[in-house]
């Protein structure tokens, strides 16, 4: 893990720069990865005795950077910043702890300290999340191994376990540190969402990754499937996954595998039925925070609906008022995702030569349209093209793009494509090779689509 050691050495330099100050501010992203990154950094700063404010933003743009310049205090950017290094305010001590692709334009900033896995040959889309990057930085600020559980939540929320069905690289090193410290456990488990909180039939009914034909979206069929294999067939209150004994759990998994084979599902989707699961051992069983996947979804439900402060408070330990508010946001989030998927199903997906897209307009919130795009791509029969989604936003037109790992293997880099194509129409973009976003001016969508179709076609090598 020499790459990790080199990154830790860089983190030590970043921490030394921050420790010179009595007061700083933290600017982070609003999604689960960003909120956990902010919480990790905030906790570490508290333990150092450094006063600070935390601000979570939907995107890093020139307005936010202007506010940072006006505040004129040392600033730590977490889970964002690497794409705008050349535009950072001068004369302010700045630490950027991010995992997205890097702005390679000329940077002349004497007080800029940059911590990013890509600088050390570490893949920021699969091997280290924004929260993981913040964790490495926090370790340089002091003894903060116990914050590894939040780093795992951030990585899971950023879908970093999806490619291999488990966390790998630096994420895995952090996972093991957390396990050794007793704050997180991990094992192979059913991958369906809601194992801690949902009744068993709802695990099947609401499964989207993988999509279960005949069961997903069908409550009656899901109940009948479980009764057929003897789960809750006596009519008592439905159990959750965590209520089943080991034999019952094995029966559900083997029956689901056989069912998926009978439906001629791909081996990829069948394999996704069982992946590695992550349990936060300090959290109460049966709650959203006990499971890393459910925890990250709870956080997304706050940040993406203008209530990042609620999610941050939960990360920092609130298990009373703010948690109750977060759960209300979660119910709203789940309803909106279902509506979004129905919108895409009804309106359809438009296919070009090398990309496919849908335009949600104002029907899907710009902060969740990327999630809907990813779920639509997973469920859609056409997975050999990246999915683009458009939604109205206050800043213009929001673009979210999602791809599959096979496309990345063949050359797809959505971050490069969105950055270049958005710039040509007067917008801004960036992110990861497999998932990226942009904001473009109103009236430029058609030109943007033409540019993207060409560039993705140039990036992706033919199959075979």
Q: Which CATH number belongs to the domain containing residue 126 in this structure?
A: 3.90.1640.30
Burial of 95-129, coded b for 16+ CB within 10 Å and e otherwise, reads bbbbbbbbbeeeeebeebbbbbbbebebbbbbbbb
Structural domain that includes position 271:
189-337
**Helices 130-141 and 2-19: angle between axes, nearest 10 degrees:** 60
Percent of the chain residues past pLDDT 70, beyond the cut = 98
Look at residue 454 and tell me if it is in a domain. yes
The runs of H, that is alpha helices, within 272-359 are 292-303, 308-315, 321-347
**pLDDT value at 338 more than 90:** no
Residue 83 C-alpha from the chain's centroid: 17
Look at residue 63 and tell me if it is in a domain. yes
CB atoms within 10 A of CB 142: 14
pLDDT digits (tens, 9 = 90+) for 39-80: 999 999 999 999 999 999 999 999 999 999 999 999 999 999
Residue 409, classed as helix, strand or coil, is helix
pLDDT digits (tens, 9 = 90+) for 169-193: 999 999 999 999 999 999 999 999 9
Shared-domain flag, residues 11 and 94: yes
pLDDT digits (tens, 9 = 90+) for 271-289: 889 999 999 999 999 999 9
E strands, 152-285, are 184-190, 274-280
Shared-domain flag, residues 72 and 135: yes
pLDDT of residue 464: 62
In the block, residue with structure tokens 């076609």? 457
pLDDT of residue 422: 97
Average pLDDT, stretch 130-148?
98
pLDDT of residue 235: 61
| pLDDT higher at 236 or 324 | 324
Residue 24, classed as helix, strand or coil, is strand
Phi/psi at 427 (5° precision): -115, -165
CA distance 83 to 155: 19
Contacts of 50 (CB under 8 A, 6+ apart): 18, 19, 21, 22, 23, 24
Is 392 within 8 Å of 398 (Cβ atoms)? yes
- Which residue among 315, 337, 359 closes a domain? 337
Look at residue 464 and tell me if it is in a domain. no
Shared-domain flag, residues 51 and 162: yes
Pairing of strands 356-359, 350-351: antiparallel
pLDDT of residue 234: 58
Shared-domain flag, residues 173 and 279: no
Shared-domain flag, residues 375 and 265: no
Shared-domain flag, residues 371 and 452: yes
| 399 beta partners | 390, 438
Indicate which CATH number applies to the domain containing 417. Answer: 3.10.310.40
pLDDT of residue 236: 67
pLDDT digits (tens, 9 = 90+) for 10-44: 999 999 999 999 999 999 999 999 999 999 999 99
**pLDDT value at 405 more than 90:** no
CB atoms within 10 A of CB 398: 24
Shared-domain flag, residues 116 and 157: yes
Shared-domain flag, residues 419 and 356: yes
- Which residue among 337, 358, 385 closes a domain? 337
Tokens describing residue 402? 């999602």
Shared-domain flag, residues 156 and 194: no
In the block, residue with structure tokens 């911590």? 115
Contacts of 161 (CB under 8 A, 6+ apart): 155, 167, 171, 275, 276
Tokens describing residue 118? 């890509």
CA distance 188 to 223: 25
Shared-domain flag, residues 134 and 225: no
Look at residue 214 and tell me if it is in a domain. yes
Phi-psi region of 285 (alpha: psi -120 to 50; beta: other; left: phi over 0): beta
CA distance 360 to 341: 11
Alpha-carbon distances, residue 268 vs 122, 210, 355 (angstroms)? 25, 9, 22
CA distance 380 to 247: 33
pLDDT digits (tens, 9 = 90+) for 340-390: 998 998 999 999 999 999 999 999 999 999 999 998 887 666 778 999 999
**pLDDT value at 1 more than 60:** no
Long-range contacts, stretch 441-444, CB < 8 angstroms, 24+ apart: 441/396, 441/397, 442/396, 442/397, 444/397
Average pLDDT, stretch 327-337?
93
**pLDDT value at 203 more than 90:** yes
Look at residue 343 and tell me if it is in a domain. no
Shared-domain flag, residues 233 and 356: no
Residue 215 C-alpha from the chain's centroid: 26
Shared-domain flag, residues 123 and 259: no
Look at residue 51 and tell me if it is in a domain. yes
- Which residue among 181, 211, 237 closes a domain? 181
Mean pLDDT of the chain: 94
| 56 beta partners | 28
pLDDT of residue 361: 97
Look at residue 342 and tell me if it is in a domain. no
Look at residue 57 and tell me if it is in a domain. yes
**pLDDT value at 223 more than 90:** yes
Instruction: Determine the Cα angle at 120 with ends 118 and 126, to 5°.
Output: 50
Q: How confident is the model at residue 106 (pLDDT cuts 50, 70, 90)?
A: confident
The count of domains in the chain is 3
């Amino acid at each position: 893990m020499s790459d990790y050691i080199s990154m830790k050495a860089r983190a030590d330099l970043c921490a030394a720069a921050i420790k010179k100050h009595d007061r700083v501010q933290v600017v982070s992203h609003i999604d689960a990865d960003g909120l956990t990154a902010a919480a990790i950094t905030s906790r570490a700063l508290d333990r150092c005795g450094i006063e600070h404010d935390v601000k979570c933003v939907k995107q890093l743009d020139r307005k936010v950077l202007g506010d940072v310049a006006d505040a004129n205090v040392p600033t730590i950017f977490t889970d964002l910043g690497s794409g705008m290094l050349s535009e950072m305010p001068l004369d302010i001590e700045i630490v950027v702890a991010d995992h997205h692709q890097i702005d390679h334009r000329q940077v002349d900033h004497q007080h800029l300290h940059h911590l990013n896995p890509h600088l050390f040959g570490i893949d920021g889309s699969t091997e280290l999340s924004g929260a993981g990057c913040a964790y490495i930085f926090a370790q340089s600020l002091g003894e903060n191994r116990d914050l590894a559980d939040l780093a795992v939540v951030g990585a899971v929320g950023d879908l970093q376990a999806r490619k291999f069905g488990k966390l790998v690289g630096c994420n895995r090193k952090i996972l093991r540190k957390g396990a050794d410290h007793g704050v997180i456990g991990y094992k192979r488990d059913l991958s369906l969402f809601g194992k801690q909180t949902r009744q068993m039939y709802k695990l099947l009914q609401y499964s989207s990754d993988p999509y279960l034909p005949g069961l997903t979206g069908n409550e009656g069929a899901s109940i009948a499937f479980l009764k057929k294999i003897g789960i809750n067939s006596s009519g008592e209150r439905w159990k959750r996954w965590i209520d089943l004994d080991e034999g019952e759990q094995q029966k559900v998994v083997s029956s689901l595998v056989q069912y998926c084979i009978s439906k001629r599902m791909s081996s990829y989707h069948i394999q996704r039925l069982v992946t590695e699961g992550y349990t936060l051992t300090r959290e109460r069983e049966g709650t959203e925070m006990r499971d890393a996947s459910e925890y990250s979804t709870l956080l997304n439900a706050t940040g993406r609906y203008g209530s990042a402060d609620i999610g941050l408070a939960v990360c920092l330990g609130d298990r009373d008022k703010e948690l109750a508010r977060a759960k209300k946001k979660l119910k709203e989030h789940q309803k909106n995702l279902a509506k979004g998927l129905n919108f895409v199903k009804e309106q359809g997906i438009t296919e070009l030569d090398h990309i496919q897209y849908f335009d949600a307009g104002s029907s899907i919130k710009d902060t969740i349209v990327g999630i809907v795009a990813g779920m639509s791509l997973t469920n859609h029969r056409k997975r050999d093209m990246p999915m683009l989604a458009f939604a109205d936003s206050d800043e213009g037109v929001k673009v979210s793009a999602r791809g599959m790992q096979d496309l990345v293997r063949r050359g797809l880099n959505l971050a490069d494509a969105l950055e270049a194509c958005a710039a040509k129409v007067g917008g801004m973009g960036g992110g990861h090779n497999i998932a990226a976003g942009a904001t473009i001016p109103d009236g430029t969508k058609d030109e943007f689509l033409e540019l993207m179709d060409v560039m993705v076609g140039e990036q992706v090598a033919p199959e075979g």
